[in-house]
Structure 1
Amino acid sequence: MQTLSKIKTKMECPGLGKDTMASTKPLNAKTPSTPSPTPKPTNKDDKKYQINTAEFHASVKKAEKLALGHPKRLITYRDLPTPWRINPFILSGYRFTPSLLSAALSPLLLSNELTNIWTHLLPILLVLRYHLTFDYSLPNTTDDLLAKGYFTAAIISLLCSGAWHSFRCCSRVHVMSAFVSVDIMAVSLILTAFSVVTTYTAFYAQPDVARGYITSCLVWCVAGLILPWTDFFRPGEVAPIRIKGRLEERGWGFPSRSWTRVVFFCLLGAQGAVLPSVHATMLNGWGYTKEIFGFAAWVVAPIFLGSIVYGAKFPERWWPGRFDYFGNSHNIWHVATAISAIMGCEVMGGMFEVARKRGSL
């Protein structure tokens, strides 16, 4: 009976490692006098990502079989292998397939990701409308270039988000993880694009200062395009570039991946908005700076409010299962970020107009 219980525990917990399994042995069991050393993971984040084990592969096959046997090809949160478990309050409606074609067709198939996909694909049409109707007869070629750059970044960001939520159901862990990185890269891209427009207009009459801040924004953007492919942002077993793990083997200490991402994006925002606003106030006065960053507030506010809802997991935390398909925190976050991207298109013309008036004084 103990053996059957152990097998059942092992199958129900696919992320269970050898060290955890050892704790299920009876107290009177004999232990070897010279146990073989078990390599200790250097990255504490990787403990739940033991993807090179028989248990993990068995859990993936089991989930694929369950999805295939369901009339709508959907499974529950408990059926998912560990790496696919993101929000425990979204209980049902998960697709799970090894087929890349099937994953690519997610925008056309029912799942709990359908709202997330279309809340970022449909706004692309609005961004394109702004792009086509924007006044590109600006006196400065750089103005035109930065405006087109923001429109392009917004479209790419929304497309990448839609792609991630489409391929989130892919049972190939390396593919799924790669699309996470694509989504994070897109966030860095659109944040940088708007930061560049903001700093450029804030220092329109001080081009040398503007170039310094824009260079800083671009350096951070490059970091934001590379880090998602490293084990700073991804589990070591699926990260193409391992830096953090090697440094930890040498005794270096780092925060978890979640905190690393939080710190990175906070610093990205600080150098692109907080520092320039203080510096612009010193150079150009509060009135002009308030006007430029007042436009920027329309872009930042939806993200800030959406982040609070997303972090609180409201409303699904209080009513698990009721908002699996529509109205959950991630849906609200997507609407907020889509509004932010569209507001960037809306206010950008006003920012250039105010900046040109300042530059002509």
Structure 2
Amino acid sequence: MAATEQEKGSGRRRNGYRLADVSATEAKQRTECSGVVGCSLRELPGWRVANGWCSPFILNGYMYNLSTAQCFTTPFRWTNETLNFWTSFLAAVYFSCHLVGVVLARERQDSFDTLVHACVLVSCLPCCLSSAAWHLFINHRSERAARLANVADILGVWVAGGGTYVPVFAYGLYCYQGYSSQYLLGLAALVLVLIFCTVRGMKSHPFRLFQAALLHLAPTLALLHVWLVLDPEFTNILTRVVWNKWFSTYMMLFPFMLATYTVKFPERFWPGKFDYIGQSHTLWHCLYIYALYCWHTACWEFADMRQTHPCQVR
């Protein structure tokens, strides 16, 4: 009877993750081994594969059963997570340095511009740092530790997405202050809903893609509002510059980011050839960080445009 219940339990889920029962043999191997580096996909623990944390097209270069101390040494080992960690960590260092520069650049930006620009950079930090933490602790021997790191990684993406859209509404609707405030409140509410869903365990792959699409396409509603109601001709220069920048950045990059994440190009077509360099997750990191960088640099442009082409606030 107990064995039957255990077999049924292998299909259960908790907080959006599959709970894979550990066999006695696997449990003994975990106890005897202090950490495995450079193993293949077939050697990974069942719970890690069951949770969908491994690409079926990345065949080698994995690690597992690492202690917390060993996890902190993994960035200095050549595995399939090395580039994923360093792209995130170095991006966090880069945005931290620029955050200091934005705070000190008082002669170029007033308090409004500084606050908007700081929102972008501050939101980038938890995204990059939580991503780096996820690629550290995905190899932890504790499933609970790995799951917590995964949740932090997802939350960081929602925070970054919300923060980078602050200048879209703050500058794109600057001449329509009432609407700007309403859209910013709506953005904050959307991010809170996404965070709540993630914390409550709603993290299935299709639902996560739906959440990402919902967040990154949210400015479309404001764009249609400006185009159809507020300023159909886009006569205001600041409004036109902001929406052109948003369209040329996110609307061009987002399809590539989504395709890379879902299709898993290029390793899907050449399994095992991109285990260490060029895998889809690393490419997704680069595209997302580039999008964050574009909005960081665009904030300088928006601030200069707001000061040189003032509009009558409505």
* Contact 1:90 1:324 survives alignment (8 Å): yes
Cα shift at 1:139? 6.5
Q: In structure 1, list runs of 5 or more residues that go unmatched.
A: 1-16, 22-37, 234-256
Equivalent in the alignment of 2:210: 263
Separation in structure 1 between the aligned mates of residue 10 and residue 142 of structure 2, nearest angstrom: 25
Q: Normalization by structure 2: what TM-score?
A: 0.84
Contact 1:74 1:94 in 2 (8 A): yes
In the alignment, does 2:58 pair up with 1:108? no
Q: Report deviation, 1:41.
A: 6.6
Mapped contact 1:76–1:93 kept (Cα < 8 A): yes
- Give the alignment partner of residue 276 of structure 1, picking from 219, 222, 228: 222
Greater Rg over alpha carbons, structure: 1
On the 8 A contact 2:12/2:18 being kept in 1, the answer is no
The equivalent residue for 2:164 is 194
Structure-2 separation of matches of 1:126 and 1:139: 20
- 1: CA distance between counterparts of 2:278 and 2:153? 21
Whole-angstrom distance in 2 between the partners of 1:356 and 1:268: 29
Asked whether the 8 Å contact 1:67–1:96 carries over to 2, the reply is no
Q: Separation in 2 of the partners of 1:202 and 1:359?
A: 13
Structure 1 residue 20 displacement after superposition: 11
Q: In 1, distance between residues paired with 2:63 and 2:281?
A: 17
Look up the match of 1:307.
258
The residue that corresponds to 2:41 in the other structure is: 77
Distance (Å, rounded) in 1 between the aligned partners of 2:57 and 2:111: 50
Match runs of 1:2-81 below 5 Å: 18=4, 49-51=18-20, 53-55=21-23, 58-59=25-26, 61-62=28-29, 68=35, 73-81=37-45
| 2:189 aligns with one of 196, 219, 223 | 219
Please give the alpha-carbon distance, in whole angstroms, between the structure 2 residues aligned to 1:293 and 1:189: 21
Cα separation, 1, equivalents of 2:146 and 2:22: 19
Query: Identity across aligned pairs (percent)?
Result: 19
1:302–1:339 contact (8 Å) kept in structure 2: no
Cα deviation digits, residues 1-44 of structure 1 (max 9, x gap): xxxxxxxxxxxxxxxx95997xxxxxxxxxxxxxxxx6897869
Distance in 1 between residues matched to 2:308 and 2:106, nearest whole Å = 17
Structure 1 residue 96: Cα displacement: 0.9
Q: Kindly provide the amino acid, as one letter, of the partner of residue 261 in structure 2.
A: Y
**Greater mean alpha carbon deviation, residues 144-153 or residues 345-354:** 345-354
- 1:162 correspondence with 2:132: yes
Which shows bigger deviation, 147-156 or 184-193?
Answer: 147-156
1:342: which partner in 2?
A: 293
Q: Secondary structure at the match of 2:165?
A: helix
Q: 1:184 to 1:61 in 2, by over 3 A?
A: farther
Out of 59, 70, 84, the residue aligned to residue 91 of structure 1 is 59
Residues 1:332 and 2:279 are matched in the alignment: no
- CA-based RMSD of the aligned residues comes to 2.9
Q: How far apart are 1:259 and its partner, in Å?
A: 2.0
DSSP-derived class of the 1:122 partner: helix
Deviations 1:270-303 (A, max 9, x none): 33x1101111223134434442122223541334
Q: Which amino acid aligns with 2:215?
A: L
Q: Is the 8 A contact 2:14 2:201 kept in 1?
A: no
State how far apart, in whole Å, the 2-side matches of 1:107 and 1:77 are: 19
What is the rounded CA distance, in whole Å, between the counterparts of 2:199 and 2:161 in structure 1? Answer: 18
Gaps of 5+ in 2: none
What is the number of equivalent residue pairs in this alignment? 299
1:145 alignment counterpart: 115
Determine the C-alpha separation between the residues in 1 that align with 2:59 and 2:72. Answer: 23
Distance 1:150 1:139, change over 3 A: closer
Residue 166 of structure 1 aligns with an amino acid whose one-letter code is: L
Within 5 Å, give how 1:105-144 maps onto structure 2: 105-134=73-102, 135-137=105-107, 140-144=110-114
The CA distance in 2 between the partners of 1:331 and 1:195, in whole Å, is: 23
User: Contact 1:117/1:161 (CA < 8 Å) preserved in 2?
Assistant: yes
TM-score by length of 1: 0.74
Change (3 A) 1:163 1:42: closer
Are the counterparts in 1 of residues 33 and 65 from structure 2 also a CA contact under 8 Å? no
